[in-house]
Homo-oligomer: A and B are copies of this chain.
Amino acid sequence: MSENNMLLEAYKETNYQVTSHGKRNVDILKEALKTIDGQQDSDMYGEGKIIEDFQDKMAAYLGKESAIFFPSGTMAQQIALRIWCDQKGIKKVAYHPLCHLEIHEEDGLKELHQIEPILLADKNTIITLDDVMNLNEEISCLLLELPQREIGGQLPDYETIESISIYCRKKGIKLHLDGARLFEILPYYEKSAVEVCALFDSVYVSFYKGIGGVAGAILAGDKSFTDESKIWKRRHGGDLISLYPYIISGDYYFEQRINKMEQYYEGAKELAALYNQCTDVSTVPIQPVSNMFHVHFQWPKEKVEPILVDIYRESGIGLTGHLREVSEKECYFEVSIGDQYNEVPKDQLNAAFQHLNEKLSGVIK
């Protein structure tokens, strides 16, 4: 068994895990289906009460004229950018170097849509108004990911988004929101989804991150935009005869968790503070602005792993199942706070962190 598997196995054997909503197993779907009358008709190729009701509900929640349910955000976002590029006749968009489309989609945007992305900002920083103003190429659309997941879920000031939105409208650049974690940032901004989305021409949100559903996404905007997105959804092979397993679970967990985003955010701030008290450990951002953050150890991965395994076994508390190497001297992992955090006894959690800090302080690197 590799060190990494040892960490994951030790994590799975703990009594309490500080991150996420829990296991992604079939019960997630079964629980959601319990609330649904089995005689309820399936959606059929994007039509029917079960899909239309949810789309209408999400359009209202996001403050957009129309919303379309997609099997994935990958599909929804490529399509959004394609529509904006076709409308302007310029096949260029701008986004962050660690944008999902750039690093997780096997270059679908380039291979399927021949769209060229301009990368804005350094990969460790978030996009600023200056980055947008300094663009010296014409683009059809700017994509902002809020929060910027791959760098710990960092966020710009709300005023920055507002000024980028004003600038883009003036320049005829469409502004698209990668809102995979939109629900999770609303407590920090103290804004409604409607207020945030009003700054954007198109919006994607996900139902399996903070919401914890099975899969699925919503793409929202003006009706002319979403009508076109349905044609592309068919082209991509996403207009399935039935999407209801994802819709039912998305809706069920939306209702369960949409009002718990503040709780997750507070949990993230509390947990990040515990990490930041440890020697050679720091979080990005230092103070989280959503339910997520990254934890960096100024230690080699192979030295952190056995320490974490010991902590898990001693305390019964699991912090993470995965460590990623940054360099020979640094490693990190991602934290997303969900329902499980509040179940962890605080005294045991504090004791675990005390042990962690002792090990990090006492052992020679």
Seen from chain A, the residues whose Cβ lies within 8 Å of a Cβ on chain B are 23-30, 33, 36-42, 44, 70-76, 78, 105-108, 111-113, 208, 214-215, 231-232, 234-246, 248
Contact between A237 and B27, CB atoms less than 8 A apart: no
Cα of A248 to Cα of B25 in the assembled complex, Å: 13
Count copies of this chain in the complex.
2
In the complex, which residues of chain B have a beta carbon less than 8 angstroms from the beta carbon of A23? 39, 41
22 residue pairs of the A-B complex, CB under 8 angstroms, read A23-B39, A24-B41, A24-B42, A26-B37, A26-B38, A26-B39, A26-B40, A26-B42, A27-B38, A29-B33, A29-B244, A29-B245, A71-B71, A74-B236, A74-B239, A75-B238, A106-B232, A107-B235, A215-B241, A215-B243, A236-B236, A236-B237
> Nearest Cβ distance between residue A272 and chain B, in whole angstroms?
26
In the complex, which residues of chain B have a beta carbon less than 8 angstroms from the beta carbon of A74? 234, 236-237, 239
Closest 6 CB pairs of A and B: A75-B237, A108-B235, A27-B38, A245-B245, A74-B237, A24-B42
Contacts A71-B240, A241-B208 given; indicate if A25 touches B44 (C-beta within 8 A).
no
Contact of A40 among B25, B76, B234, B239 (CB under 8 A): B25
Cα of A248 to Cα of B232 in the assembled complex, Å: 28
Cα of A246 to Cα of B41 in the assembled complex, Å: 17
Contact of A28 among B42, B44, B73, B238 (CB under 8 A): B42
Cα of A23 to Cα of B76 in the assembled complex, Å: 30
> Nearest Cβ distance between residue A22 and chain B, in whole angstroms?
11
> Nearest Cβ distance between residue A20 and chain B, in whole angstroms?
13
Cα of A239 to Cα of B74 in the assembled complex, Å: 9
Contacts A39-B27, A44-B24 given; indicate if A106 touches B231 (C-beta within 8 A).
yes
Contact between A240 and B42, CB atoms less than 8 A apart: no
In the complex, which residues of chain B have a beta carbon less than 8 angstroms from the beta carbon of A105? 234-235, 237
Contact of A240 among B27, B72, B111 (CB under 8 A): B72
In the complex, which residues of chain B have a beta carbon less than 8 angstroms from the beta carbon of A28? 42
In the complex, which residues of chain B have a beta carbon less than 8 angstroms from the beta carbon of A244? 26, 29, 214
Cα of A42 to Cα of B22 in the assembled complex, Å: 12
